[in-house]
Structure 1
Amino acid sequence: MSAIGADTQRYPATLEGRNLTGGGGLRLHLDEGRISGIERISSADMAPGAPFLAPGLIDIQVNGYGGYDVNGQTATVEGVIAITKRLASEGVTTWVPTIITASEEMICRSLALVKQAKESDPVVDAAVPFAHVEGPFLSDQDGPRGVHSLEEIRPVDADEVARWCKAGPVGYLTLSPHWDDSAREIAKITAMGITVSLGHTQASPEQIRAAVDAGAALSTHLGNGIFAQLPRHPNAIWAQLADDRLTCGLIADGHHLPADTLRVMLRALGPERAMLVSDSVELAGALPGRYTTAVGGDVELSPTGRLSYVGTSFLAGSAVNLAHCLKFTVGSAGLSLADAVSLATRNPARVISRCLGRTGAAAGAPRGALIAGARADVVELSADATVCGVVRGGQRLA
């Protein structure tokens, strides 16, 4: 997909296209950045080749994009703004900055940048509901740890999380529940209003169930951040797939999960418990080659888009955006366009609403649905899920 420029072109009064969930088409009436009304129209009343209309895509796991990172010393407020603009141009109108394992000082620095970007730019404020902290309470083992810094890995500490919240808006936290007292600390964290997600773990099924009993509600990029070889059963993947209390993120870039694995996981999770994430990093969109990054060290981006840690078989994040993941899912996972779109809109929107509700923050206009009153974030899609147009906050992006 070629990027659509992020400069605003005009404020359309109406927007027409094919209906994803039924026959015919839709005419959306837009007013002051919201969808003010919706009409159903017949196919005969639509222009030939009209696109499908869908809510703006929602990616709840973005480490960086387009040469910008939300982690490390080089992260800036301007970078958060630039990522927001670039992602919107490619169909992702809501995103959650992901801050990875680092010292407490560096985690707080990144959270403060997110807070400053939201306060300084109303477009960012609308697009970024909060931040996700992935680590530092993760596995210290090669494989499950991924490329997170071993030197900064530490046991779960609810008191540290409370200090983060003074720096910036923490919506959810990814941790491994294998640590002693994990369940007790998880209960403290959820009592603060922070949603807990499980990931980068070698935890036993018993430890996973204890974490969910304590309040964990999500799984971060299920199937990744785990040993390359596992007992066939029991193991942490089966335990998370089986627990109906967990909503699971899946990286559908074609590298983190093979097509058959993605297909089976989606079948096991059903239409309500799965969501697509990109896990994109600073190098997303870069040319193939070897790079040195501030947070991942030496990495290699292959011509096929696989980003791996040099000298290992471990992946170092993804080099694509959520629109790519949506298209891969439609082409490889056996889902209809409508069902795949829900994994990149409705389901992550529900997670965001949960996180905002727990923190007591105002949710604002509804996300992830084409309904009256919702923010006018709309993508136009071809039948194969290619993004061919974007309207953000009622403004068409050129």
Structure 2
Amino acid sequence: MSAPTGIEGRDPATGELLRIRVEQGVIAEIHRAADHPAEVPFVSPGLVDLQVNGFVGHDVNAEEPTPEAIVAITAALAERGVTTWVPTVVTAPEDAIHAAIAAVRRAREQDPHAHAAIPFIHVEGPFLSDHPGPRGVHAPDAIRPIDAAEVERWRQTGPVGYVTVSPHWSNSAAEIARIRQGGTVVAIGHTHANSEMITAAVDAGAELSTHLGNGIFPELPRHPNPIWTQLADDRLTCGFIADGHHLPADTLKAMIRAKGTHRSFLVSDSVELAGSTPGRYETAVGGLVELDGSGRLSYVGTDLLAGAAVSLGEGLRFLVSHVGLSLAEALGLVTSVPGRIVQSCGSRPRGLLRVGQPADLVLLTADGSVQATMRSGGLLGAQG
């Protein structure tokens, strides 16, 4: 039996001092006190990232996916305050999707930290738009119509929690309803679907929007358009990339105001080069790319983004510094809201600071910078 331990920090909402006692990796007691030294950091549940394609040189969708890569990503993200993450498997032939899902499943079976950190898998595609622009960098030759039977086959290989689809297909609503009946949550993304198609998808059971504002045509009609429809529908909870490059600050601010902080969450959508040192890199998809000091990853010689290259913690800081949210408000978008989605996908809730919850905690400065992480009761150093 492990000895009791603890951590203390200020409540980001009230400023009160929280003394948190931990036993066997679980929060056993939370004591509140009004007085505290000014230098005491803030304390929060660990960050929850629902969309990670890769990190620090490891790719969820490698040609030969391995459980070791998933374990390495888990450790690197924890050092940056992310204690729950969802591996994202992208558009590919079905056998390649199964291989990636199997690698995540084996990582969860072999490593206790991966098992604790990864509740399930997100499959982004292959049921996406086949149009340049909304398709993004997804392989055009692997895109295919929505197929609930294929989703069920994935679930036989490993724990698939949600799938991103474009509801432009003629049978989209019926297949979305079947996917939901099978126990998988549906998100809308990478789409050229019109407003009526999107509403029909939500009527059929779609609950989420995947990185809204990206994975769409660069030019849209003023109205109606798919962004307005998803912002207006209160049945949808919307994900956003807040790296400062995928969405300008004023756009992100307006979108969060439209959805409300209780229906908005951040994702990193990070790729293999995220967390790497700035420089030029040769990639398997897209060729030569450049990562600059701000975390912008672009194709050399163009203004086109080559993916997201920062962790969720940078997105938290962007909300505080550029979008005008308080630390407490911003934290909800990276803890309790995505944690609620984890629960709706069939896993235990995450992102909560409550007695009985796992002691996945972070210490933060006022601007949202991560100072240290506690994962299941053990303290880790932070890398920002």
TM-score, normalised by the number of residues in structure 1: 0.92
Alpha carbons of 1:67 and 1:12: their partners in 2 closer, same or farther (altered >3 Å)?
A: farther
User: Deviation of residue 81 (structure 1)?
Assistant: 0.1
8 A contact 1:131–1:172 mirrored in 2: yes
Structure 1 residue 256: deviation in Å? Answer: 0.4
Q: Pick one of 323, 333, 339 that aligns with 2:329.
A: 339
Mapping of 1:336-375 within 5 angstroms?
Answer: 336-356=326-346, 363-364=347-348, 366-375=349-358
Cα distance between partner residues in 1 of 2:299 and 2:136: 9
Length, aligned pairs only: 380
Structure 2 distance, partners of 1:375, 1:58, is: 13
Q: 1:295 to 1:192 in 2, by over 3 A?
A: farther
What are the residue-to-residue correspondences of 1:227-266 with 2, within 5 Å? Answer: 227-266=217-256
Question: Which of 11, 18, 27 is the aligned partner of 2:10?
Answer: 18
**SS at 2:340 equivalent:** helix
Q: SS of the counterpart of 1:161?
A: helix
**Is this contact kept in 2: 1:68–1:75, CA < 8 A?**
no
Partner of 2:361: 378
CA distance in 2, matches of 1:312, 1:105: 33
RMSD of equivalent CA atoms:
1.5
Q: Quote the Cα distance in structure 2 between the aligned partners of 1:311 and 1:188.
A: 44
Q: Secondary structure at the match of 2:260?
A: helix
- Give the corresponding residue for 1:394: 377
CA deviation vs aligned residue, 1:189-231 (integer Å, no higher than 9, x gap): 1110000000000110000000000000000000000000110
Deviation at 1:161, TM superposition (A): 1.1
Q: Does 1:319 align with 2:309?
A: yes
Which residue identity is paired with 1:184?
Answer: A
Aligned-pair distance for 1:151?
1.0
1:159 aligned onto 2:159: no
* Contact 1:11/1:395, CA 8 A, preserved across alignment: no
Identity %: 58
What amino acid maps onto 2:30 in structure 1? I
**1:53 to partner: Cα distance:** 0.6
Alignment gaps of 5+ in structure 1: 1-9, 357-362
What is the CA–CA distance in structure 1 between the aligned matches of 2:335 and 2:222, rounded to whole Å?
33
Residue 35 of structure 1 aligns to a residue whose secondary structure is strand
**Deviation (angstroms), 1:311:** 6.5
CA distance in structure 2 between the aligned counterparts of 1:176 and 1:38, rounded to whole angstroms = 44
d(CA) in 2 for partners of 1:397 and 1:148?
36
Cα displacement (A) at 1:304: 3.0
SS at match of 2:307: coil
On the 8 A contact 1:33/1:393 being kept in 2, the answer is: yes
Alignment partners' CA distance in 1, 2:6 and 2:72: 28
Partner-residue secondary structure (3-state), 1:316: strand
Q: Partner residue of 2:181?
A: 191
Change (3 A) 1:106 1:297: farther
| AA aligned opposite 2:103 | L
Q: Scaled by the length of structure 2, what TM-score is found?
A: 0.96
CA distance in 2, matches of 1:261, 1:278: 17
Which of 96, 108, 111 is equivalent to 1:118?
Answer: 108
Supply the AA of the counterpart residue of 1:41. Answer: A
Q: Is the 8 A contact 1:177 1:211 kept in 2?
A: yes
